[in-house]
């Protein structure tokens, strides 16, 4: 509930991304990422509570992820969507990634996620990665996933 007892709204979405990560030998290996987000009450559309799954051939079969997806401004002019998701099972992984320059190049920015996967137990970089949202093939499914609910 917002101030005065009136209900507030939460925006939800699901996105599906496929791509690759670079393993320790420099080879590109397949990666799939699914993220569900719901805006935090009182935060508008700036921050989303997120859950999801990561599958990365040779790295992790499937890892459940939790964290945040946030809109941030860099140097007051470049808008970025920042993903910070972590898993503790089957191993401690952390995925930190961004969709950059949302205002300057919106199509490329909203469809391309670049980042890194870390081992949280050893505190080391495991792999850089890049994944894309298939705007042509998945936009209908994505639009059906978008929801607005009272919280």
Q: Is 132 within the bounds of a domain? A: yes
Q: Is 74 within the bounds of a domain? A: yes
Q: Is 107 within the bounds of a domain? A: yes
How many independent structural domains does the chain possess? 1
pLDDT of 114 > 70? The answer is yes
Return phi, psi of residue 145, to 5°.
Answer: -80, -20
User: What's 126's DSSP letter?
Assistant: E
Mean pLDDT, rounded, of the chain: 84
Q: Is 151 within the bounds of a domain? A: no
Assign 38 to helix, strand or coil.
strand
Please write the tens of the pLDDT for every residue from 93-104: 999 999 887 777
Q: Is 13 within the bounds of a domain? A: yes
1 or 90: whose pLDDT is higher? 90
Q: CB-side exposure of 1: number of CA atoms within 13 Å?
A: 4
Share of the chain above pLDDT 70, in %: 82
**Confidence band of 2 (pLDDT split at 50, 70, 90):** very low
Please write the tens of the pLDDT for every residue from 7-56: 677 778 889 999 999 998 999 999 999 999 988 777 667 889 999 999 99
Q: Both tokens of residue 29?
A: 């290996």
Domain extent for 24: 3-146
pLDDT of 71 > 80? The answer is yes
Count CB-CB contacts under 10 A for residue 105.
11
| Maximal CA-CA distance, the chain | 58
List the beta strands (DSSP E) in 75-123.
78-87, 93-99, 112-119
Q: Is 119 within the bounds of a domain? A: yes
Say if residues 42 and 18 touch (Cβ distance below 8 Å): no
For the whole prediction, is pTM greater than 0.85?
no
Which CATH number do you get for residue 57? Answer: 2.40.128.120
User: What's 92's DSSP letter?
Assistant: -
pLDDT of 137 > 80? The answer is no
């Amino acid at each position: 509930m917002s101030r005065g007892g009136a209900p507030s709204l939460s925006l939800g979405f699901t996105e599906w991304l496929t791509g690759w990560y670079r393993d320790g030998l420099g080879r590109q290996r397949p990666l799939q990422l699914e993220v569900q987000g719901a805006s935090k009450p009182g935060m508008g559309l700036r921050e989303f509570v997120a859950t999801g799954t990561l599958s990365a051939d040779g790295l992790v079969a499937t890892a459940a992820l939790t964290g945040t997806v946030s809109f941030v401004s860099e140097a007051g002019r470049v808008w970025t969507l920042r993903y910070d998701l972590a898993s503790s099972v089957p191993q401690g992984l952390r995925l930190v990634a961004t969709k950059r320059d949302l205002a300057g190049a919106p199509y490329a920015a909203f469809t391309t996620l670049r980042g890194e996967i870390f081992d949280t137990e050893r505190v080391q970089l495991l792999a850089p990665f890049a994944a894309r949202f298939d705007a042509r093939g998945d936009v209908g499914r994505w639009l059906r996933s978008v929801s607005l609910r009272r919280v």
